Amino acid sequence: MTVDVAIIGLGYVGLPLAQEASKVGLKVLGFDVNTGVVDALNAGRSHVDDLSDADVADMVAAGFSATTDPSLIGDAKTVVICVPTPLSEDGGPDLGPVKAAVDTIAANLKPGMTVILESTTYPGTTDEVVRPVLEAGGLVAGTDFHLAFSPERIDPGNETFGAKNTPKVVGGHTPACGDAAAAFYGQFVDTVVRAKGTREAETAKLLENTYRHINIALVNEMSRFCHDLGIDLWDVINAAATKPFGFQAFYPGPGVGGHCIPIDPNYLSYNVRAKLGYPFRFVELAQEINATMPMYITQRAQDLLNDDGKSLRGSTVLLLGVTYKPNIADQRESPAVPLARHLLDKGATVQYHDPHVTNWTAAGDGVTRAEDLEAAVAAADLTVLVQNHREYDIDALAGKSQNFFDTRGKASDGEKVHRL
């Protein structure tokens, strides 16, 4: 075997992993079915927020190469699956990309290999979906090759925690499988945390994001009745957060987005219903609350315009920030999309501005980009802060606006400022 690790899927998870492995001198092969991605990486060009072109060029100089040729996977000591697992129409995970990756590995599996699944999924996937396909050729997991699950914990745009210093949870099909996976990650990850098995490691990832999902829903629901009662929820949260134990601050917003919070808890809920026949009520209630926030923001926008003697129909609403989190270009599951659609459905003229997004078509052709930010803010009947990018001077923009609806709690008090 001439390759230390083959990483299948070169997106926001696989590429940072490849970078850290390359930094310690491992021979890294990246595999992706997207020819454009592969060609760009081999030419030293990045397509993810967290790595620059210079970062990718350094990886290539260190020996990293990307390929669309699956036969090269057979040269690897370790193979890591980092493909996406979006939601399917029935609310469960779409395992199509995972199954395709596993089929590719199975066709090139060699004795002594270590195969690790990182893609987020429901408990039991490694053992029930991945293992049978890999063993179909006669090799046995735990005897002829190692099999493990290690959930990805990449937080795009996080400038403090990355692939190296975020603890890596590892659960093996057998203890020896766990040992092999832990030894692999231990070469370039600061802390490796051993889970009892693959199911425990799979469920740990879902628990992490379900915890966040439910607590975000809690403060989102509180934002509604605090507004009706004339209570400043942001001040409430700041006061509660001074307690040095027993409380962690979560903040309301226009909805949840990204690759984890809107999706991962549904895997767990789906699995509970499918296997046990009863609902995971906390998750389903949280999903209901968070999914209705864009409509609630639309209703608040309508009320604010009414207070100003205007109708939402025919008014211009400017959305600031359409990515799912600040300071990156990632738009996956952004709440800006349903918000824009609700506004359009009610007859508003919708514009957007985002320093990281030059072409936004997710909400349809009816949304145009504001090229001159200050002029657009001054002209709009209502400006809505959807995502707080560092490029925005919030108080200055609020001061230039006719009405400023702050869904992120970032603007200072002012006559024109209205908070979620």
Q: Which band of pLDDT confidence, cut at 50, 70 and 90, is reported for residue 341?
A: very high
Q: HSE-up of 273 (CA within 13 Å, CB side)?
A: 15
For residues 332-350, give the mean pLDDT. 94
pLDDT tens per residue, range 283-310: 889 989 999 999 999 999 999 999 999 9
Dist. CA 202–CA 169, nearest whole Å: 9
Consecutive H or E run containing 268: helix 264-276
pLDDT tens per residue, range 213-228: 999 999 999 999 999 9
Dist. CA 196–CA 202, nearest whole Å: 11
Catalytic pick from 82, 177, 226, 260?
Answer: 260
Is residue 177 part of the annotated active site? The answer reads: no
pLDDT at residue 158, as a whole number: 87
* Cα distances (angstroms) measured from residue 140 to each of 61, 105, 111, 172, 189: 37, 14, 9, 14, 28
By percentage, how much of the chain surpasses pLDDT 90? 82
pLDDT tens per residue, range 88-105: 776 677 899 999 999 999
For residues 382-408, give the mean pLDDT. 97
Task: Give the chain's end-to-end CA distance (angstroms, integer).
Answer: 57
Tokens standing for residue 164: 């190296």
Q: Choose between 397 and 157: higher pLDDT.
A: 397
Contact residues for 189 (Cβ-Cβ < 8 A; gap 6+): 20, 163, 164, 166, 167, 168
Q: At what angle do helices 293-307 and 336-345 cross, to 10 degrees?
A: 50
Tokens standing for residue 416: 């024109």
Query: Is the pLDDT assigned to residue 20 strictly greater than 70?
Result: yes
Query: Is the pLDDT assigned to residue 259 strictly greater than 70?
Result: no
Q: Choose between 155 and 182: higher pLDDT.
A: 182
Q: Choose between 31 and 255: higher pLDDT.
A: 31
pLDDT at residue 122, as a whole number: 87
pLDDT tens per residue, range 356-368: 999 998 888 889 9
DSSP class of residue 231? -
Residue indicated by tokens 């349903």: 338
pLDDT tens per residue, range 42-80: 999 999 988 999 999 999 999 999 999 999 999 999 999
Dist. CA 335–CA 68, nearest whole Å: 34
In the chain, residues under CATH classification 3.40.50.720 are: 3-196, 221-419
| Beta bridge partner(s), residue 93 | 87
Report the DSSP pairing between strands 146-149 and 168-172: antiparallel
Query: Is the pLDDT assigned to residue 253 strictly greater than 90?
Result: yes
DSSP class of residue 126? I
Tokens standing for residue 118: 């990182």
- Cα dihedral across residues 208, 213, 216, 218: positive or negative: negative
pLDDT, the chain, mean: 94
pLDDT at residue 380, as a whole number: 97
Query: Is the pLDDT assigned to residue 237 strictly greater than 90?
Result: yes
The CATH code for residues 3-196 is: 3.40.50.720
Q: HSE-up of 119 (CA within 13 Å, CB side)?
A: 31
221-419: what fold? Rossmann fold (3.40.50)
pLDDT at residue 274, as a whole number: 80
